[in-house]
A and B are shown apart, each in its own frame.
Chain A
């Protein structure tokens, strides 16, 4: 093979000649600094390389080293609580080695090689194991038992397996396979462009609860489902994603900060060790992996970052966990794709995006799902994916939004009119939808409340009626509405302000359990029903609206989960109306 060398440099794109024998998506190292790049196109002996680091100072004639290996991530104990850049370099280690600014040509293992983990075998010598079977476990954090699985090519009979303290590179088991003896270490590598295998895909049928009322009650996501959050700047995409990372009942969170703000990452890093998982009381960081390729970091690595995150997420899913991946923002990834495509002078499609944009987006979201994992124990697992989309000017006809909406099943439409009014989360209840409501109905019925779906239905109806009535009121004035219609307006307002509105920064309001959501909504609707009845019985609207208990309803969000007062509100409503009827209020 002739020596490969640079023949052109244009920003993040480098062209090299003398690359015969190289394969697509192989990793290469460029120049003296050894900048990391990946081959994204081959034309005869020329390779087009996207470079994951700033190419300033690189020029023609510099050597290019072909590694012959695809760009891969390392998988094994030590992933949890890490913070990586887009190609899985540990940013915390880089900082302690290189200082506060990210410099170039850094090569560091993603997973600590020195640390010893206590490997506890769950299988024995002589047993037959298939690919994906769990050989043993490591307690990675108090929240995560890291399962060591039989690699895809290592099914066979266990010749040796040993418990004890090992580094990730030491052999913990030997398996006799059809192709000879295979050694199993706790670390393995996997190409980021290749989906990890599963046994079977299933239909999502359980909600991924998030503690966010508008999401859980009105537009639920299922475990293993996909959702997108598009919206103009400042409408609350990042806060939604952070809230999900904090409070959703997944066992593992992979957060990909793709082309966004450094301070948002700092926020995660500083708050996650402090915040406690509401179910276990342990710091949230103990179940989280963060991939951070902020907007000022090299653009090509932004493209890779979501695949890096996805592969890590799939790996934990394979252990049998419910994993949730947040990508904030998928638009930045698409823009990176566009930038590289532009530099390669490919035929542009809509808005300059390459023609393959839609298929890349579809491929990405297809990696989500509820599955039966590889391995003979048929364990179930789920990988849910939530992507933020940042369309220019908030315009939903943007190609990234459109391509995303074609594949995802939940659409949380952020609305800057609501954001301007500081109605948060600024999720528009008339535009948003979830295609999982039916799938998870029976789960809600069994686990939350018999009538949960009915309440949801009624709330949605009231909100729709409100929109119509407000339109009428705009044209002819409020006085033209009947008392009943005005009560509908008030009840819908109560749903919006007392239920849907949720302050992410209020210690109590930030998270609401399904049970409390149910109790809140039930109280609001109960008041509505009682109000309607009172009107029918001849009470005035004013007297209904003057009832003190309304303040109780509006303060429910601030009542602690375990407080008996939550249940009390319902009875207080009854009491108030009784008094009203008896003329005491």
Chain B
């Protein structure tokens, strides 16, 4: 029934070249039987009349040219879904990993997915309260947004992501909610941290996990996030759930992609990553969102560790060009012992504007956050100046800004891992700090809000 071939001519890195093929299609799923009778899977990356280039998910270690049997399955990679998928753990290729049975699929969904018609998108506008001031106050997340954590090795991104997953809620609502977790190349310990955290908070029953760990085949990582997102689309747009997707670590994903590209001898783009990395990442990140007329939503938090903390590294750079902002972690704050070490200045939430304000958070929110940004930026500038010329050389005003920015880091940004602050509390802390600065300096805040909130301490 399937076309089976014994005509492998070359094995290059993760790729197999199969000759004398017939009726093979681009993107087709492939099964490879090793000499020892073990099965591996792959997909067709390039096909011409004589040969096909197949990318093998589990890698080509142990495969040989003469005895590998290659079967073309006539379909592309799919994920079988039904309600039962909730609460399950899968490996990076979508096979059950929790000892449970196979899912009895109601539907087979192609994991590459189809692009959402831009005309069908509903603009994300519901504020998600994460309980973290530096996010809620300064770079608010909204439902259906894709907002990555830009981290570095050794920084507590896992704890922050877990805290968000634990605390996130939409004000005044109780709704069907799920977490989909995709792990690519992270360690057992890191994965286990998430699983334990989900277990402790009861989130595990509403979670679906796809795990490809550090010791598992790197090429499989190409499929893992797509499985997670396919699952999320099913939960969100067919089962009407609000889904939070966490993908960690996108850096390992991109490295797998680079490995394939190198094996195909493609012309490399920056730092050896293929020129289509942008498009490839976009085909995943853009699956987040809201659709008109649908209740559910997909909010996506990809996590990536920037090599050398360099945000111009292609993985971070291209991610930033696709996602709707970024939460940037700072080694400097981490060293100062501040948790969460979120540097608000280079962080950004592009969708905040429709998610905050009267009726959503509070009328003054936008102005307050703009003002804090300006003050903190100025305070940090003053801090630099003070380093060169000494604090005494600062003008009186700059001294106030310096005081402000120190207080901002220790009182506003810093909070405990289990502290879920309400957005109103966050704004109140903001005002308390802003009162350090003379009123006339607060140009980003409308007079009516200054009248309402600035003088409160004197009352």
- Residues of A in contact with B (beta carbons under 8 Å apart): 7-11, 15, 54-61, 83, 91-92, 94-95, 98-103, 232-234, 257, 259, 261-263, 265-267, 269-270, 292, 294-297, 299, 332, 335, 338-339, 342, 348, 351-352, 390, 392-395, 416, 419-423, 474, 476-479, 497-498, 503, 505, 550-551, 554-555, 558
Choice from B48, B117, B374 contacting A102 with Cβ under 8 Å: B117
List A contacts of B266 (CB < 8 A).
Answer: 342
Is B377 interfacial (CB-CB < 8 Å)? yes
Pairs A-B, 4 closest by C-beta atoms: A393-B312, A295-B282, A56-B27, A296-B286
Which residues of B line the A interface, CB within 8 A? 22-28, 45-49, 76, 112-124, 144, 237, 266-270, 275-276, 278-279, 282-283, 286-287, 289, 291-292, 294, 312, 314, 317-318, 320-322, 324-326, 345-346, 348, 350-351, 353, 366, 370, 373-374, 377-378, 385, 388-389, 393, 395, 440, 443-444, 446-447
Chain A residues lying within 8 Å of B270, measured Cβ to Cβ, are 351, 392
| Chain B hits for A420, CB < 8 A | 345-346, 377
Residue from B123, B279, B286, B395 in contact with A339 in the complex, judged by beta carbons closer than 8 Å:
B279
CB distance from B419 to the nearest CB of A (A): 26
The smallest C-beta distance from B386 to any residue of chain A, in angstroms, reads 11
- Given A95-B120, A234-B325 in contact, is the A296-B287 Cβ separation under 8 Å? yes
- Which residue of B122, B317, B374 has the most chain A CB atoms within 10 A of its CB atom? B317
Query: Complex formed: what's the CA distance from A9 to B24 in Å?
Result: 10
Identify A59's interface contact among B26, B326, B370, CB under 8 A: B26
Within the complex, what minimum Cβ distance (angstroms) separates A419 from chain B?
Answer: 8
CA distance A233 to B278 in the complex (A): 13
Within 8 Å CB of B292, what residues of A? Answer: 100
| C-alpha gap A365/B345 in the complex (Å) | 35
Knowing A8-B48, A339-B275, A394-B312, say if A83 contacts B119 (CB, 8 Å). yes
Do A263 and B377 have beta carbons less than 8 Å apart?
no
Instruction: Using known A-B contacts A9-B26, A266-B121, determine if residue A233 contacts B320 with beta carbons closer than 8 Å.
Output: yes
- Cβ distance A112 to chain B, nearest Cβ, rounded Å: 15
Nearest CB of chain A from residue B286's CB, rounded to whole Å? 4
Would B324 and A261 count as touching, CB distance under 8 A? yes
B47 touches which one: A60, A295, A339 (CB < 8 A)?
Answer: A60
C-alpha gap A55/B444 in the complex (Å): 51
Task: Give 12 A-B contacts (CB < 8 Å), ordered by A residue.
Answer: A7-B48, A7-B49, A11-B276, A55-B27, A95-B117, A95-B120, A232-B312, A421-B374, A421-B378, A422-B444, A474-B385, A555-B447
Q: Is the CB of A294 within 8 A of B27?
A: no
Q: How many A-B residue pairs have CB under 8 A?
A: 207
| Known A101-B120, A265-B121, A479-B393; 9 more pairs at CB < 8 Å | A8-B46, A54-B112, A92-B119, A94-B119, A100-B294, A101-B115, A103-B114, A233-B321, A339-B279
CB pair A352 B286 closer than 8 Å: no
A580 to B204, CA, bound (A): 70
For A352, give its contact among B22, B144, B267, B378 (CB under 8 Å). B267
Partner of A101, one of B46, B114, B389: B114
Chain B residue at minimum C-beta to C-beta distance from A416: B346
A58 engages B353 (CB within 8 Å): no
When distances are taken between beta carbons in the complex, the residues of chain B under 8 Å from A419 are: 348
Docked pose: A91 CA to B121 CA in angstroms: 11
Q: Is the CB of B320 within 8 A of A15?
A: no
Chain A neighbourhood of B119, CB < 8 A: 83, 91-92, 94-95, 265, 269, 292
Q: Contact: B114 with A266, CB < 8 Å?
A: no
Contact A295 B278 (CB under 8 A): yes
- With A and B bound together, what is the CA distance between A15 and B26 in angstroms? 13
List chain A residues, Cβ under 8 A from B318. Answer: 392
* Closest-CB distance, A296 to chain B (whole angstroms): 4
Choose among B121, B122, B348, B385 the residue with the greatest number of A CB atoms under 10 Å from its CB. B121
Please give me the residue from chain B that is nearest to A94 by CB atom: B117
The distance from the CB of B165 to the nearest CB of chain A, in whole angstroms, is 22
Q: Say yes or no: A262 contacts B121, CB within 8 Å.
A: yes
Given A342-B266, A342-B267, the answer on whether A393 and B317 have CB atoms closer than 8 Å is yes
Q: Pick from A8, A98, A393, A479 the residue with the most CB of B within 10 Å.
A: A393
Residues of A near B25 (CB, < 8 A) are 9, 56-59
Say whether A335 contacts B278, CB under 8 Å.
yes
Give chain B residues whose Cβ lies under 8 Å from the Cβ of A11.
Answer: 26, 46, 276
Q: Which residues of A lie under 8 Å from residue B45 when comparing CB positions?
A: 10
Cα distance, A92 to B378, chains bound together (Å):
47
Scoring A101, A263, A267 by chain B CB atoms within 10 A of each residue's CB, the highest score goes to A263
Decide if B447 touches A297 in the complex (CB within 8 Å): no
On whether the beta carbons of A335 and B279 are closer than 8 Å, the reply is yes
* Given A56-B27, A59-B25, A100-B116: A295 and B326 interface contact (C-beta under 8 Å): no
Q: Are A392 and B393 touching (Cβ within 8 A)?
A: no
Q: Which residue of B lies closest to A61 (CB)?
A: B23
Contacts of A101 in B (CB 8 A): 113-117, 120
- Nearest CB in chain A to that of B440: its residue: A551
User: B118, A498: Cβ atoms under 8 Å?
Assistant: no
Given A92-B119, A102-B115, A422 contacting B47 (CB threshold 8 A): no
Q: How far is the CB of B240 from chain A (nearest CB, A)?
A: 14
Give which listed residue, B48, B268, B321, contacts A390 with CB less than 8 A.
Answer: B321
The answer to whether A498 and B317 touch across the interface, beta carbons within 8 angstroms, is no
**Residue on A with the closest CB to B144?**
A263
- Compute how far the CA of A332 lies from the CA of B281 in the bound complex, rounded to whole angstroms: 13
Task: Given A56-B76, A295-B278, A420-B345, verify A477-B393 contact (CB < 8 Å).
Answer: yes
CB–CB B114/A338 < 8 A? no
Q: How far is the CB of B329 from chain A (nearest CB, A)?
A: 15
B246 to chain A, nearest CB (A): 20
Q: Which residue of B lies closest to A15 (CB)?
A: B48
Using known A-B contacts A95-B120, A263-B289, A498-B443, determine if residue A352 contacts B275 with beta carbons closer than 8 Å: yes
Nearest Cβ distance between residue B247 and chain A, in whole angstroms?
16
What is the CA–CA distance of A558 and B286 in the complex, to the nearest angstrom?
36
A58 and B268 alpha carbons, distance in the complex (Å) = 26
Which residue on chain B has the smallest CB distance to residue A548? B440
- Minimum CB–CB distance from A396 to chain B (whole Å) comes to 12
The verdict on A296 contacting B115 (CB below 8 Å), with A478-B395, A498-B443 known, is yes
Task: Return chain A residues, CB-CB under 8 Å to B322.
Answer: 261, 295
Q: How far is the CB of B34 from chain A (nearest CB, A)?
A: 25
Query: When the two chains form their complex, are residues B373 and A422 in contact, meaning their CB atoms are under 8 A apart?
Result: yes
